[in-house]
Amino acid sequence: MSTPHDAMWEKLNIDLDAHSGLLAVLGKFYGDIYLSQSGRLKGMEYLDFVLSEVHGLRIKEIQEAKAAGKKVIGTFCVFVPEEIVLAANAIQVGLCAGAEAGKESAEKILPRNTCALIKSFVGFKLSRLCPYIESCDLVVGETTCDGKKKAYEIFNEYSPVYVMEIPQMKNACDRDLWKTEVLRFKKKVEEVTGNEITAPKLSEAIRIVNNRRKALQRLNRLRAAIPAPISGRDVLLINQVSFYDDPIRFTSKIDELCDQLEERVKTGKGIAHEETPRFMLSGCPMAVPNWKLPYVIESSGAVIVGEESCIGTRNTRDLTDESGTSLEEMLEAIVDRYMKIDCACFTPNTERLNNIVSLANELKVNGVIHYALSFCQPYGIEAYKVDKAMQKATIPMLSIETDYSMEDVEQLKTRVEAFIEMVKVK
């Protein structure tokens, strides 16, 4: 079926047939998982619209910005400082990597036992399915895990990737390394965009990104009410959209939605009964359209009230200090803010364990569901330490390892239902 965006996609070298199949599956999936929910806030219509136009109007907007001279920078990890990209008058987009489409092409060149996220971004490129990847003037990778850093070498044969080195420990020498990398990235972004990053521009960019984080923090505070006023699925979607929507527009839409949420909380109304078991998700990022586990959990009689994940609180918890006045001070503040990220690529990663326990207590959860993508060593192995920390804090935990396929949905449902029963008895 042809659409008004076909000519634009063709120009971006998208495989139109495969792409139309992907959009059809996505639309059906979205209808079943999202639109079927009852009691959604009016403000979610904006998110539904953005999602329905994810490869359409937003790409058109990006193409128009490119025609006016803006550059587009694609990223795969929350370590890439968006403040620097915005200060150079460029657009940053998170390259999602949350779908199975393209897996077959990816498995021709990657070992089958590679995590689904890596297979997804390689597969999307090889199968010419993602108009975001094809719109990028620069794709930024990072050395967070071995799978990613080796996959970027292959991706680079199809599309150049600039790789940032991420420290793996948090000693003074690691901060020095990170500062060098932030400065190298700044130089690269200035080269690609042809724009110099000045103190006033960086200061404005820091405020824009912080304001988005503040809106998401407000959302997180409001959703913590009992009964839960918004579903975990909806909040996950909001976090996912935050990676590719215009940051200023997105922030104002989320603030509007929070106003509605505030009203709902005042009336004591929830989307689930107050006795409904409350869970927190913790672990690997869930990129669009990876909604499988949240759907399984919420359709089994529980509600998700927090995501300890990069598409969740890991990306929004820490603000960049806004008090710096010189470029040097602002860059130092960026270095410090990003060093606080508690990704499982760090060793040791005690900060993450402490953060999970305090978030779980703050949110008054009945349990934590730890989620690791199959073959993800950082999160898969760290699940053991998380489990120990949960036992010590007497918070029940269920550890799940899965991928993007739908084959294990029934099995996951059985495990989640058993966990719900267990926390109810407790």
Residues that bind ligand SF4 (CB under 6 A): 77-79, 115, 117-118, 144-145, 147-148, 284-285, 310, 341, 343, 345, 373, 376, 378-379
Other beta carbons within 10 Å of 29: 16
**Identity at 257, one-letter amino acid code:** L
Rounded least distance, CB 74 to ligand SF4, Å = 13
Name the minimum Å distance from CB 376 to ligand SF4: 3
Smallest distance from ligand SF4 to CB 320, Å: 16
- Nearest in space to 231 (alpha carbons), one of 395, 34, 28, 31: 34
How many helices (H) does the chain have, and how many strands (E)? 19, 8
Measured distance CA(68)–CA(387) in Å, rounded: 51
- Which CB, 193 or 315, lies closer to ligand SF4? 315
What distance in Å separates the CA atoms of residue 127 and residue 331, rounded to the nearest whole number? 38
- Under 8 Å between Cβ of 26 and 16: no
Residue 381's φ and ψ, nearest 5 degrees, are -75, -40
- Which one, 144 or 355, has the nearer CB to ligand SF4? 144
Of 257 and 284, the one with the shorter C-beta distance to ligand SF4 is 284
Using an 8 Å Cβ cutoff, are 164 and 140 in contact?
A: yes
Between 126 and 310, name the residue whose CB sits nearer to ligand SF4: 310
Closest to ligand SF4 by CB, 30 or 379: 379
Strand, coil or helix: 219? helix
DSSP H or E segment with residue 397: strand 397-402
CB of 216 to ligand SF4, least distance (A): 15
Task: State the minimum distance, in angstroms, from the CB of residue 145 to ligand SF4.
Answer: 3
Sign of the Cα torsion 17, 20, 62, 141 reads: negative
Least separation, in Å, of the C-beta of 237 and ligand SF4?
Answer: 18
Query: For the stretch 246-265, what's the b/e string if a residue is b when 16 or more beta carbons lie within 10 angstroms of its beta carbon?
Result: bbeebbebbeebbebbeebb
**40 vs 150, which CB is nearer to ligand SF4?**
150
How does 47-77 read in b/e, with b if 16+ C-beta sit within 10 Å?
beebbeebbbebbeebbebeeeebbbbbbbb
Considering beta carbons, is residue 92 or 203 the nearer one to ligand SF4? 92
Least separation in angstroms between residue 375's CB and ligand SF4 is: 6
